[in-house]
Structure 1
Amino acid sequence: MNDLATPNAYGVLTEPATLTIQRLLPGPIERIWAYLTDGELRRQWLAAGRMEMKVGAPVEFIWRNDELTDPPGERPAGFSVEHRMQSRITECDPPRRLSFTWEGSGDVTFELERQDDEVLLTVTHRRLPDRATQLGVAAGWHVHLDLLVARATGEEPEPFWDGWNHLRQVYERRLPE
């Protein structure tokens, strides 16, 4: 197993403006694909929004991070109760690969790979424009993926914002300037 896929593994900059983070999840692969693509399942760990599975299809992601955990923790200054982002699917190969644009910072790819009865999820976020974005995105993906692990395994997640605030500080030290 790749070191990036250990539980709670940190994201790394695999290129100067590309963050890669992995998680090993309980299968089957179709179940994890549903967590990525079904708006109701996705809203439990990332963001709501209907997704049509075809290249070129628009997607609206709707974040309500205060609703992800109870309690949500303390939301940092500058974040609102709801955030919406318009996106577009750029690649779709069910149940293995999904790519889409990410407003203001490039694009994201989800890759799923069967590993016995588990599934390796690799998230690659490309073209992160600056260090502040890298730090926020790294902390964001990390805490959202921790939520996905909790949802997929039936465990109780930590308060979302407390995790994000802590991880933002950790990534400040971990990611190169």
Structure 2
Amino acid sequence: MNEYGEATGKDTVRIERLLPGPIERVWAYLTESEKRSKWLAAGDMEVRVGGKVQLRFMHSNLSPVVETTPERFQQMDCGVGFDGTVTECEPPRLLAYTWGGDTSEVRFELSPQADKVLLVITHTRLADRDEMTNVSAGWHAHLGILEDNLVGQTPRPFWATWLQLEQEYKRRLAE
């Protein structure tokens, strides 16, 4: 399995991770605010089709490693958030919701693989290559932090990881 996300269409990226199970545990990290806040974003979620999703990102809180927020993202330093709506929900195997209002959609598919869980994230309706690069680097960095949490390691720093990945995804998505 390739750890890097890839473009699967002109407005879609897909990234996969094989994570420590069981599937119910990974599902909880997708749907429960307290667990989700450790790797992605806090916020309430009504886990049903049509349910509301609140995502409140605090990237500087994802790791105990102190780092400087890149200048172009300083406006996010005190947090940023948005709301969405659940579009598909089949616990504990499928969750999809609108992202950033209705501008794009993210889909999480989980399947057991022995004692692990294959998580496939597909993010669609992305505006352009720049957004695809940003989103790909973001998911890759966030999934690394999720994996750190699941295995009990100190989470890696978000911004340092994201900045390295941004350059790699610019190269990969230009091909």
Q: TM-score range by the shorter chain?
A: over 0.9
Residue number in structure 1 paired with 2:41: 47
Contact 2:148 2:156 in 1 (8 A): no
Normalising by structure 2, we get a TM-score of: 0.94
Q: Secondary structure at the match of 1:128?
A: coil
2:119 paired with 1:121: yes
Contact 1:18 1:128 in 2 (8 A): yes
Q: How does 1:153-172 map to 2 (within 5 A)?
A: 153-172=151-170
Identity of aligned residues (%): 46
Distance 1:13 1:128 in 2: 11
- What letter matches 2:48 in structure 1? K
Instruction: After superposition, give the CA deviation of every residue in 1:38-77 in whole Å (9 maximum; x if it has no partner).
Output: 0000000000001111111111100000000122422112
Distance 1:151 1:167 in 2: 20
Residue number in structure 1 paired with 2:97: 100
1:31 positional shift:
0.4
Contact 1:138 1:171 in 2 (8 A): yes
Distance 1:65 1:97 in 2: 25
Structure 1: runs of 5 or more not aligned: none
Instruction: After superposition, give the CA deviation of every residue in 1:103-161 in whole Å (9 maximum; x if it has no partner).
Output: 26410000000001110000000011111111110110000000000000112232111
Residue number in structure 2 paired with 1:28: 22
Residue number in structure 1 paired with 2:85: 88
Residue number in structure 2 paired with 1:62: 56
Equivalent pairs counted in the alignment come to 171
Instruction: After superposition, give the CA deviation of every residue in 1:17-43 in whole Å (9 maximum; x if it has no partner).
Output: 110001101111000000000000000
- CA-based RMSD: 1.2
Residue number in structure 2 paired with 1:151: 149
* Runs of 4+ residues over 3 Å off in structure 1: none
- What letter matches 1:149 in structure 2? E
Distance 2:170 2:141 in 1: 15
Normalising by structure 1, we get a TM-score of: 0.93
Residue number in structure 2 paired with 1:13: 7
1:77 to 47, 71, 75: 71
Residue number in structure 2 paired with 1:140: 138
Distance 2:103 2:136 in 1: 12
Contact 1:65 1:72 in 2 (8 A): no
